[in-house]
Structure 1
């Protein structure tokens, strides 16, 4: 009986970790792109079409599976009440994923419990759980594949899970590919069910995209590649790498080009990994998988100049795993090692993420959301168009039809970028004549001020500084310490 109770300790750790992280719901820190997915889900609910603006089909969300999950949460809880249940669901799935990972790498139940909690309070783990993105589901599915497919040898997992993973994000072909290659070298044979699962997954995603949207890859990938494409020399590439790598491997975004904490962490992660794999244990297969995947994923995305930090959340977590294993399995002075890790890393990281979540939540929920709410009450005709960037909070809460500057939710922008990238913004305004423009700039002092003065009027200015006050003095200090958001000007067409 005592042994059965001990085996439940990691499960209790899952519950404690989820409950602890739910405190972050109070910060209202939700990623902008989550609202794009949720609007797509609600468009499916309202129009029966996977799109963003009425009956027009478009893969405006990066993730198909999460769109359907969000659709069912909207259906069950209603549009007004689905967000919190969905965020809790994401947090639970991520933490169960960390339970699978602990079972792959650790034997001692107390070590598993500590591992689950310390992984769960890392900044990227908090963001995966609470920010509304698809990575909670993704982490759960990926760790489930490793646990049931490659640890337990379950054929159903090898066949079913790859398609689900690929329907969550098509770029997970990197994860599946790394697992396949390492498994091939490790076991000197191919797992036919896994190959079948991969074929079904890639074939299914590509077929779905082609038959439903008329494209092979998601529109979001095409749009970002087109909008953010820059031709760099080798020297510029190296400079770009040095400017940005520190903010993605280190879990901590700091101003400036050089982040010394990242270098220290990278070196320590490598030392811990080398120390662990030299022990020649069965779990080494999984250590190689997560570590190689972490590096490959980050190098691929950084080489493509992908600066959205959510691409790096899962790799950041997996690369940190060897550090936790090293500390937990010290035979001498383990408690000292653990205390040092918690005191000098876990607590500072948690404190940083808390401040970041409070400040960014204020900038997103209390500020950017108000722009959408203002438009929702100001404009009753929801068939009117707004041209803006980004396409998250404001379109979601205003309910207006939307043109975004990247072309994520409206493909016609991509046509303008291809024709004349330098002047696509003005050309889009002239050809589409949206009723509203939301701009970071003062259009009446711009190069084309004459056109905008003739056709638009300024109806409201939105300023970050107006949202840095709070009755709670501690919150106000955090808002002022780390103001979040951008100033906007809202224009309405007058002809």
Structure 2
């Protein structure tokens, strides 16, 4: 009884500490990734009776987490009936965090299952399983994605449970639970189907290796048990039904995002390699974690657990490299396999001959536990800064996009169309028709991309999805076009639009004061009259224009006067390649001198800019402020009148300084 009580107290203390740390991480890190709002838009339309669509009336599968959409819909409908008053963003964040905690429990349970199969397993060694939830709790990918409002934590949990159940596949009804978990995982993410295939295949290969070792003439049919055959058939039938539904409803066998994202090119391969090496450094301790299992394979001493987990993990890594890794940050793709590699490190180490007869006592386990915790915390702290920077970026993006949505709802009619590349918070909060310029929720762009020569990896931009079609977007005549980074493009699709002649002729940039964001935000409007200009613009203009903008932002942040020469140099190069955009180029020069306090020089550039394009609202706004700084009040007031005619939303209560 005393032993039970002590064990109970230990478990309570351990999980109490885990829960305390988890809750503190939640308070510090929790946010909602912009991508999560894309799913919420589907959920909202589904609950409102519009079907599983992004834009009402357009059946496009722009999500890759069917089960998550259904789960959110069912729970939200239930809690609405119960009057719990959670909104959809709160619900997705709660579920994501909840499954993050469940994932930690799954890590413990799976590790216990794995280590209990050791030949030298004893009562002391059972406590080794408590190491792994702590290790995962102090990894940045787990923390970032568990508190992001996305389905990643549930997917990682189901993946781990699948492996747990596969270990005892032939015992009792384990194969049924494995089948159920695998089906749910395949409905949650497309990778779930891949994971099922990988796990079954590597297990069959191991059975084949063992069978041929024992009896080279053994029949292959005996290698695949009747239970495995049954699981494979039922799983494939379920997939056939699901794909048939997808094909009948959306017209394609795969999600639209597959056609919009997937590309097998050398550049994608390089990105995938970079993604993998970052994972090796940040989460696998420069590859040290893999050394024991690699040694076991080299010695041909591996057992079934090592073969399944290591083969599964390595094949999955190779596939992620081939597809170019993930466009989203902080190692999302590798979360399901990270705890497995941690477990393999200790499991393979204890299986080595040198450790096989080593008696693991409580002191050794305690030292191992302490060393692991300390190294995990140190590693977490070294990677935390990057995680928090990405989190801050997402929070800023969501806040900005919500401000755009609020402005559209408050100042425009409902039947407007907006084109942009970030299809999360803005579509969810605005409820307007959206043209997704990177094609994730646009069927035409996904299947008919049109690249522009010169828009390539060398451009200094953040988002590099290669599927876009600027001509198609402009031909749709969107009422507004939004670049999330402001007035400059930050994605291939935005670059293609920005350099497009029709865009230059039809659209101009307006500013509006966003109360929620407490600053001016740019948005491209249609001109009242089309600009007539037949001169060409070399695509090389883009690189220098973006560089000049980025340097300007650096100047504003650092106040480093030395940057001004490089800004002018980049701006002049941009002007050489595209003289007709001289108004925008002079705006950058003027803003740079304005923020250095050289108002007379700034005034000259702004006046030249407006002379070239009387609808350059950025130059007009800055010129208004410049006149104010120079105490030219009459000119400032005249500029206000001009600004109000073309960008009436830019000034709030005669705002200028």
Q: TM-score range by the shorter chain?
A: 0.7 to 0.9
Q: Does 1:120 align with 2:134?
A: no
Distance of aligned partners of 1:404 and 1:207 in 2 relative to their CA distance in 1, 3 Å threshold = same
Q: Does 1:37 align with 2:39?
A: yes
Once the two structures are superposed, the pairs formed by residues 151-162 of structure 1 within 5 Å of their partners are 151=168, 152-154=171-173, 155-162=175-182
Match of 1:492 in 2: 525
Q: 1:457 aligns with which of 509, 519, 535?
A: 509
Match of 2:204 in 1: 184
Q: Does 1:414 align with 2:446?
A: yes
Once the two structures are superposed, the pairs formed by residues 305-320 of structure 1 within 5 Å of their partners are 305-308=324-327, 309-320=331-342
Q: What TM-score, normalized by structure 2, do the two folds share?
A: 0.61
8 Å CA contact 1:460, 1:489 repeated in 2 = yes
Structure 1 unmatched ranges of 5 or more: 253-261, 468-486
Distance of aligned partners of 1:451 and 1:31 in 2 relative to their CA distance in 1, 3 Å threshold = closer
Q: 1:46 aligns with which of 48, 65, 70?
A: 48
1:61 CA displacement: 0.9
Q: 1:291 aligns with which of 310, 322, 336?
A: 310
1:300 CA displacement: 0.8
Q: Partner of 1:492: helix, strand, or coil? A: strand
Match of 1:72 in 2: 74
Q: Does 1:17 align with 2:39?
A: no
1:446 CA displacement: 5.1
Distance across 2 between alignment mates of 1:128 and 1:160 = 24
1:135 CA displacement: 2.3
Q: Partner of 1:47: helix, strand, or coil? A: coil
Distance across 2 between alignment mates of 1:322 and 1:150 = 14
Distance across 2 between alignment mates of 1:230 and 1:178 = 21
1:424 CA displacement: 5.1
Match of 1:350 in 2: 380
Match of 1:246 in 2: 277
Once the two structures are superposed, the pairs formed by residues 314-393 of structure 1 within 5 Å of their partners are 314-325=336-347, 331=360, 333-343=364-374, 345-365=375-395, 367-380=396-409, 381-393=413-425
The CA deviation string for residues 344-384 of structure 1, in whole angstroms up to 9 with x for no partner, is x311232245433433222211x112222212321124542
Distance of aligned partners of 1:60 and 1:288 in 2 relative to their CA distance in 1, 3 Å threshold = same
Match of 2:59 in 1: 57
The CA deviation string for residues 386-419 of structure 1, in whole angstroms up to 9 with x for no partner, is 2111222333343332222221112132355159
8 Å CA contact 2:37, 2:89 repeated in 1 = no
Match of 1:478 in 2: none
Distance of aligned partners of 1:211 and 1:3 in 2 relative to their CA distance in 1, 3 Å threshold = farther
Q: 2:249 aligns with which of 205, 212, 215?
A: 212
Distance across 2 between alignment mates of 1:494 and 1:19 = 56
8 Å CA contact 1:207, 1:216 repeated in 2 = yes
Distance across 1 between alignment mates of 2:40 and 2:271 = 33
Match of 1:91 in 2: 100
1:303 CA displacement: 1.2
Distance of aligned partners of 1:126 and 1:397 in 2 relative to their CA distance in 1, 3 Å threshold = same
Match of 1:171 in 2: 191
Distance of aligned partners of 1:184 and 1:230 in 2 relative to their CA distance in 1, 3 Å threshold = closer
Distance of aligned partners of 1:402 and 1:446 in 2 relative to their CA distance in 1, 3 Å threshold = closer
8 Å CA contact 2:509, 2:525 repeated in 1 = yes
Q: Partner of 1:456: helix, strand, or coil? A: strand
Q: Partner of 1:207: helix, strand, or coil? A: helix
Match of 1:471 in 2: none
Match of 1:437 in 2: 481
Q: Partner of 2:388: helix, strand, or coil? A: helix
Q: In angstroms, what is the RMSD of aligned CA positions?
A: 3.7
1:279 CA displacement: 11
1:240 CA displacement: 5.5
Distance across 1 between alignment mates of 2:269 and 2:264 = 14
Distance across 2 between alignment mates of 1:88 and 1:31 = 13
The CA deviation string for residues 272-317 of structure 1, in whole angstroms up to 9 with x for no partner, is 5545998979xx4333222211111111121122333422322334
8 Å CA contact 1:59, 1:219 repeated in 2 = yes
8 Å CA contact 2:439, 2:446 repeated in 1 = yes
1:64 CA displacement: 0.7
8 Å CA contact 1:372, 1:396 repeated in 2 = no
Match of 2:586 in 1: none
Distance across 1 between alignment mates of 2:101 and 2:389 = 25
Distance of aligned partners of 1:28 and 1:142 in 2 relative to their CA distance in 1, 3 Å threshold = closer
Distance across 1 between alignment mates of 2:19 and 2:41 = 26
8 Å CA contact 2:52, 2:59 repeated in 1 = yes
Q: What TM-score, normalized by structure 1, do the two folds share?
A: 0.79
Distance across 2 between alignment mates of 1:66 and 1:452 = 41
Once the two structures are superposed, the pairs formed by residues 127-146 of structure 1 within 5 Å of their partners are 127-146=144-163
1:109 CA displacement: 4.4
1:11 CA displacement: 7.5
Distance across 1 between alignment mates of 2:14 and 2:527 = 59
Distance across 2 between alignment mates of 1:148 and 1:279 = 25
The CA deviation string for residues 407-439 of structure 1, in whole angstroms up to 9 with x for no partner, is 111213235515979795431332111122112
Tell which structure's C-alpha radius of gyration is larger: 2
Distance of aligned partners of 1:277 and 1:132 in 2 relative to their CA distance in 1, 3 Å threshold = farther
1:10 CA displacement: 5.7
1:24 CA displacement: 3.1
1:458 CA displacement: 2.2
Distance across 2 between alignment mates of 1:97 and 1:21 = 15
Q: Partner of 2:482: helix, strand, or coil? A: strand
